[in-house]
């Protein structure tokens, strides 16, 4: 397998997992462990990154600790973290040192890392093409690379406006609404990045969870979403621009046949972000041979 990625969890072929088959378990015990002096190093790393990219902003994120399967239900064990902590741990120069320390102290290389959970979409048009995006040179991660639509589920969306983002606690987040946010966030990202109306998008199906080994093993839940538009119609909407249009510079459309052989045969694979590689790998394994 490509060293940029690893698969944390793969759904059973050929249908994946729907929202009704997922539960969430939130607890402070699923937050990252902290080392003495952690905050100083994180603040220093954040200040340096902000100097390079002033448009970056901090925010609460869900932290994926682990998953478990119980009676046909997939349970996400989630803590809370922040984008600042992600920059100061997963993206820091000391990330391998932190992973080694976590392995030694807890038998878990991720114990000291922020590991905010991401989401991504294998977006499939009616003319049998998948939508990829060329990332802007101004984004904080993987500038200029090719990616799938995606982002993060947001604790703030679950907690509501009555709770400030800096004070969100685990008890502010009802489990059912957290699961809803896991699935709806990927549709929101498609709307914001590709400018597609919600009625044109199918309910997301979970393909699995991939780890980005270039950012300390940070996990992303990868989904399959069907779109009722052709690639030409998607291109038209994308050209108009959505709320997050600045995050990418162009849309690309790759046939299903070429998606299934990208890793073996295409130069495109070398241009992909790890999140896109993980999603394509999961789609190929879970649904690719059955559609």
Tell me the helices (H) and strands (E) count for the chain, helix number first.
10, 11
The pLDDT confidence band at residue 1, using thresholds 50, 70 and 90, is confident
- pLDDT tens for 50-83 read 988 888 889 999 999 999 998 889 999 999 999 9
Contact 248, 133 (CB under 8 A): yes
End-to-end CA distance of the chain: 23
**With pLDDT > 90 as the criterion, what percentage of the chain qualifies?**
82
pTM: 0.95
**With pLDDT > 70 as the criterion, what percentage of the chain qualifies?**
99
Number of domains the chain is built from: 1
For 52, the domain range is 5-288
C-alpha distances in angstroms, 252 versus 8, 83, 125, 219? Answer: 27, 28, 12, 24
Contact 19, 78 (CB under 8 A): no
The pLDDT confidence band at residue 165, using thresholds 50, 70 and 90, is confident
Looking up residue 123, the CATH number of its domain turns out to be 3.90.79.10
The residue whose two tokens read 């989401």 is 119
pLDDT (0 to 100) of residue 246: 87
Arithmetic mean of pLDDT, 195-206: 98
């Amino acid at each position: 397998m490509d060293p940029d990625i690893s698969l944390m969890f793969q759904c059973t072929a050929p249908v994946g997992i729907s929202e009704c088959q997922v539960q969430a378990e939130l607890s402070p015990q699923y937050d990252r462990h902290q080392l003495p002096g952690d905050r100083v190093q994180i603040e220093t790393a954040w200040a340096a990154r902000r100097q390079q990219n002033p448009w970056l902003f901090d925010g609460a994120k869900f932290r994926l600790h682990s998953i478990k399967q119980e009676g046909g239900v997939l349970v996400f064990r989630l803590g809370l973290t922040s984008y600042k902590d992600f920059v100061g741990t997963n993206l820091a120069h000391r990330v391998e040192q932190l992973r080694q320390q976590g392995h030694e102290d807890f038998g878990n290389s991720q114990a000291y890392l922020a590991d905010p959970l991401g989401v991504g979409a294998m977006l499939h048009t009616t003319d049998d093409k998948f939508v990829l995006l060329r990332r802007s040179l101004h984004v904080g991660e993987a500038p200029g690379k090719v990616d799938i639509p995606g982002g993060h589920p947001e604790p703030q969306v679950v907690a509501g406006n009555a709770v400030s983002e800096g004070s969100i606690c685990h008890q502010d987040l009802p489990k059912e609404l957290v699961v809803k946010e896991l699935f709806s966030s990927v549709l929101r990202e498609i709307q914001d990045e590709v400018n597609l109306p919600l009625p044109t998008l199918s309910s997301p199906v979970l393909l699995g969870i991939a780890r980005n080994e270039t950012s300390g093993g940070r996990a992303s839940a990868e989904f399959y979403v069907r779109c009722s538009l052709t690639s030409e119609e998607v291109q038209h909407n994308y050209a108009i621009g959505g709320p997050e249009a600045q995050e990418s510079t162009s849309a690309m459309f790759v046939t299903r046949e070429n998606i299934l052989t990208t890793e073996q045969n295409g130069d495109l694979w070398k241009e992909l972000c790890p999140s896109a590689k993980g999603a394509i790998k999961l789609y190929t394994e879970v649904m690719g041979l059955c559609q």
